[in-house]
């Protein structure tokens, strides 16, 4: 089964592909020659995921799914949240985003946080939404070379490693995205 993942982030696409059963094939925006950013104007993570999936369905008439993810830090009242990818500016620099988080948390003792992923699936004239959350801690210094985004500074609960210190298989056993995708895959396996 081929299904379009409304992303141009090849790291994210590889992470999702590694979770899927063999009979699923992921296409990305690159595969349909879509090179522009899809609008993300919703004030919520769920709204952005739905907006991206609807954009693809309306413009390309392709069954698809889209996700949006946010890092929600308790001491920062849920920031960076819906603007996680652009927290330090429109250039979407992972390093700048992490530096801003660490700067804002410099004098905070509460470093608890969570990653939230919401997936909107447009299939068979329906839209379904799946959510995954992983709780953890923001480290004082980044650790690890793997992953992307905030992975070097986020350590899931009861783990002892940042996401960036994990192999992809290890990360998929903990991650917010893996939890949301597991729900979507279960649905697709039951209803395809």
Which residues are catalytically annotated?
A: 68
CA-CA-CA-CA torsion sign (82, 147, 135, 143): negative
What's the rounded Cα separation, in Å, for the pair 7 and 184? 16
Residue 97: HSE in the Cβ half-sphere, 13 Å Cα cutoff: 24
């Amino acid at each position: 089964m081929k299904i379009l993942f409304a992303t141009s982030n090849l790291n994210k696409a590889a992470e999702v592909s590694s979770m899927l059963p063999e009979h699923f094939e992921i296409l990305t925006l690159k595969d349909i020659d879509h090179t522009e950013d899809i609008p993300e104007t919703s004030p919520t993570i769920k709204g952005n995921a739905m907006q991206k999936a609807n954009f693809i369905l309306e413009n390309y008439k392709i069954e698809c799914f889209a996700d949006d993810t946010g890092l929600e830090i308790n001491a920062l009242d849920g920031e960076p949240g819906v603007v996680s990818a652009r927290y330090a500016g429109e250039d979407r620099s992972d390093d700048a985003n992490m530096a801003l988080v660490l700067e804002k948390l410099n004098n905070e003792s509460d470093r608890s946080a969570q990653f939230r992923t919401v997936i909107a699936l447009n299939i068979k004239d329906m839209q379904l939404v799946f959510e995954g959350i992983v709780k953890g801690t923001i480290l004082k210094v980044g650790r690890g070379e793997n992953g992307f985004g905030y992975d070097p500074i986020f350590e899931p609960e009861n783990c002892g490693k940042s996401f960036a210190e994990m192999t992809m298989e290890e990360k998929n056993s903990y991650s917010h995205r893996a939890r949301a995708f597991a729900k979507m895959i279960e649905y697709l396996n039951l209803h395809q």
